[in-house]
Amino acid sequence: MKKNVLASSVAAALLGLGMVGAAHANNVLVVPYFTAQTEHATLLNIVNTDTVNGKAVKVRFRGAANSDDVFDFQVFLSPGDVWTGNVSKGATGAAQLTTSDASCTKPAKSVLNSTPFVTSRVDSTLSADGKAEQTREGYVEIFTMADIPPYLTGASGETVNVNPLYTAIKHVSGVAPCTGSAWTGLDSTAVRTAITKPTLDTLSKDTTDPAAVPVTIKGLAQPLTGGLFANYTIINVARAGAWDGEATPVAISSVSTIPYWPQIATAAASAEQYTADPLFRADSVDANGKSAPGEIAAGNYDLPDLSTPYVAAGSPADQAVAVTNALAVTSVTNEFLANADIQATTDWVFSMPTRRYSVALDYTTTGTDDGRRFNPALDGLWFSADNTAVSNRLICVSGVTASIRDQEERVVTVTTEVVVSPSNLPADTLFCGEAGVLSINGGAVVPTPTVNASVAVTDLDVPYSAGWITLATPGATAAAGLPVVGQSFSRAAAGDSFFAASWDHRSVQGAAQIANIVP
């Protein structure tokens, strides 16, 4: 289901976020879960339905534990193009992306296919195997950073020419060239300098020329046309199981900049203007409200993220508020199947893709400092020191309660009858990690019996073998809810035959919308 941004009119003007409609562009997509655990693999398809413009797209895989960046790259889609990739467990134990797709990427396809997912941002206290495990589950962010139109123009009156970047990424006989100075010219901070000086607001297009096209800088144009969607399939060939789903889109309009950063490791200039991530910011605070600056220097490849404004006047805090408002729900409902007669098991996945911008975990802390780092501009809206805690190096959220029914109208109404294990957390803490898996009657087995999750797992034991559950998901501001997306995954067997089923969570959108931060 599409998530609509319901921010105030002021926030919409500032941030370029609005209600979904024909004029709005789906520039941001979230795949709620990927896994490469045991025999599982995740297949990802990204489709450009714009048959005129190419797209510069950022793809970022984040770990299930605390949303750590474990692999990111750029894809350049031709008009009408589809990019496909497969994530599975590689030879090193870390997740590994493989793609045979002919679209352009940065870095090149050969580099992507030979590079395991990266462990430099995960918990450094883990063993090599433990670090590799952290890369094998999580969620995926997909951003349209720029349109790539077939023609160039600049200030009013300029001659319209063929866009050499478009030529570089446009398929010829089924293969994109990925060559030329326009292509290699993107690998420099000069791209950002050109985008910000002068600003796009000072430029215009030649409206007197019928062939006039949007303003382009380095072959990149504002991502106004949208048109992306993505699908994913989790497959276990050995047990003949497969689940599929759609990426959750967030609609963005009124774009007034080009949110493109080069795919290079140098430090991103003025990064705090473009990200709300507490681990990248100097104004972050700990759980006691004391100053605790972020310990990671943001690189160019870290941008954009879900808090990066798509308009020049927006702030990262405003953007994080608007996107979180769009995703926040006050309850989640779905079915479960755990009938032992057919070997049925069920795992529910809950991703909170914007929690990172309110609270992140600093792995370098010791002693009484549990490592929680808050963005003070967002602290207390959805997440706070009061409704979060750290358990087993995972940030967990409390206040989540379950109402459980079987298929014959019987109901568990007393929360204390539900056992959450293994954990020393209270029974109203069902969300641990940022792509957490809730195993229904899984017997506290890790990896879980359905999707073999092991990074961020909670077991919920209930007295029924089948039925449905509603989870109340209040946030720090109760009526606003929590930014949750995900699915239910079930598996069953009859003799040697297996089958699998998946259902999207049914959610109730947050009743209250948090006001934008900057007036």
Q: How many whole angstroms separate alpha carbon 271 and alpha carbon 295?
A: 13
Check whether residue 361 and residue 220 sit in a common domain.
no
Block residue for tokens 């655990």: 37
Q: Is the pLDDT of residue 444 over 80?
A: yes
Rounded (5°) CA angle 397-398-400: 105
Q: Which of 238-252, 304-318, 442-456, 492-506 has the lowest mean pLDDT?
A: 238-252
Provide the whole-model pTM. 0.91
Q: Is the pLDDT of residue 300 over 60?
A: yes
Q: How far, in whole angstroms, is CA 216 from its chain's centroid?
A: 28
Check whether residue 360 and residue 478 sit in a common domain.
yes
Tell which residue, 303, 394, 317, 313, has the closest CA to residue 354.
317
Mean pLDDT on 425-433: 79
447 part of a folded domain? yes
End position of a domain, from candidates 264, 292, 313: 264
Q: What are phi and psi of 95, to 5 degrees?
A: -65, 150
Q: What per-residue confidence (pLDDT) applies to 510?
A: 72
Check whether residue 349 and residue 476 sit in a common domain.
yes
301 part of a folded domain? no
Q: What per-residue confidence (pLDDT) applies to 477?
A: 85
**Quick one: CA torsion of 174, 180, 181, 184, rounded to 10 degrees?**
60
The number of beta carbons lying within 10 Å of the beta carbon of residue 175 is 10
1 part of a folded domain? no
Tally of domains in the chain: 2
- Identify the residue with better confidence: 251 or 285: 285
Given pLDDT bands bounded at 50, 70 and 90, which one contains residue 136? very high
- Cα–Cα distances in Å, from 372 out to 221, 222, 286, 332? 38, 36, 6, 26
Q: Which of 121-130, 206-215, 307-316, 389-398 has the lowest mean pLDDT?
A: 206-215
End position of a domain, from candidates 229, 264, 299: 264
Check whether residue 155 and residue 241 sit in a common domain.
yes
Strand 435-440 versus strand 457-461 pairing type: parallel
* Mean pLDDT estimate for the chain: 87
pLDDT digits 0-9 by tens, 252-289:
756 888 999 999 999 999 999 999 999 999 999 999 99
Rounded (5°) CA angle 291-371-382: 80
459 part of a folded domain? yes
Which residues, listed in sequence order, are joined to residue 114 by a DSSP beta bridge? none
pLDDT digits 0-9 by tens, 121-131:
999 999 999 99
Q: How many whole angstroms separate alpha carbon 345 and alpha carbon 340?
A: 8
Q: What per-residue confidence (pLDDT) applies to 519?
A: 37
Check whether residue 257 and residue 343 sit in a common domain.
no
Rounded (5°) CA angle 457-460-464: 145
Given pLDDT bands bounded at 50, 70 and 90, which one contains residue 14? very low
317 part of a folded domain? no
Mean pLDDT on 40-45: 97
Given pLDDT bands bounded at 50, 70 and 90, which one contains residue 91? very high
End position of a domain, from candidates 216, 237, 264: 264
- Cα–Cα distances in Å, from 485 out to 30, 40, 180, 247, 326? 9, 21, 41, 10, 11
Q: Is the pLDDT of residue 465 over 70?
A: yes
Q: Which of 20-29, 74-83, 168-177, 238-247 has the lowest mean pLDDT?
A: 20-29
pLDDT digits 0-9 by tens, 173-222:
999 999 999 999 999 999 999 998 765 555 545 444 544 557 788 999 98
295 part of a folded domain? no
Q: Which of the residue ranges 235-244, 410-419, 433-442 has the most confident prediction, judged by mean pLDDT?
A: 433-442
Check whether residue 101 and residue 219 sit in a common domain.
yes
Q: What is the DSSP string of 451-517?
A: T---SSEEEEE-S-SEEEEEEE---SSGGG-EE-EEEEEEEEEETTEEEEEEEEPEEEE-SS-PPPS
Q: What per-residue confidence (pLDDT) applies to 253?
A: 58
280 part of a folded domain? no
Q: How many whole angstroms separate alpha carbon 32 and alpha carbon 46?
A: 14
Q: What per-residue confidence (pLDDT) applies to 233?
A: 97
Q: What per-residue confidence (pLDDT) applies to 17?
A: 39
Which range marks the domain in which residue 46 is found? 9-264
Mean pLDDT on 478-484: 90
Check whether residue 230 and residue 351 sit in a common domain.
no
pLDDT digits 0-9 by tens, 487-519:
999 999 888 788 899 999 999 887 667 766 543
Quote the radius of gyration of the chain (alpha carbons, Å).
23
Q: Residues with Cβ < 8 Å from 138, sequence gap 6 or more?
A: 33, 34, 61, 62, 63, 64, 67, 70, 434, 435, 455
Q: What per-residue confidence (pLDDT) applies to 158?
A: 54
Q: How many whole angstroms separate alpha carbon 148 and alpha carbon 139?
A: 27
Block residue for tokens 């300029």: 158
Q: Quick one: what percent of the chain has pLDDT higher than 70?
A: 85
Q: How far, in whole angstroms, is CA 56 from its chain's centroid?
A: 17
Q: What per-residue confidence (pLDDT) applies to 414?
A: 52
Check whether residue 393 and residue 474 sit in a common domain.
yes
Please count the residues of the chain: 519
Mean pLDDT on 441-469: 92
Largest CA distance in the chain: 74
Question: Which two structure tokens, joined as six digits, stand for 107?
Answer: 């870095």
285 part of a folded domain? no
Mean pLDDT on 283-311: 96
